[in-house]
Structure 1
């Protein structure tokens, strides 16, 4: 994994997922729902993380969610 996780963010539990009865997969980042996988995408994801360790599972979820966070999000600041 070398250069993939330079800041060691994948050591933390940043991403989580939840599966439903009908094999839909909800992926969360820091407790907020980021994406929903269904059909072949959810099957592919579940197969990809089967038997993987924590860090590899985190990396798989990061790849599936794509580039949803670009760094230009603003914090809710009160004046």
Structure 2
């Protein structure tokens, strides 16, 4: 069984999509991954306050964060930059 909901995380990237750092997690909850993915472009448009050359929006399961850090891989989702 999958997660109960998804949230959009905004990541700031200094060099393209390498070395991305989470800068915000939006409060809106989505019931499916598809619904979350549909909201990523709008989320990026509203997230212009971060000082990074590239911003990414990634849908993440809405559960307790794991100890594993996924900053080395390119997130799926929308991209601005």
Scaled by the length of structure 1, the TM-score of the pair is: 0.28
More strand by share: 2
Q: Which has the higher helix share?
A: 1
Q: Taking structure 2 as the reference length, what is the TM-score of the superposition?
A: 0.27
Greater relative contact order, per chain length (Cα 8 Å cut-off, separation 6+)? 2
Structure showing greater radius of gyration is 1
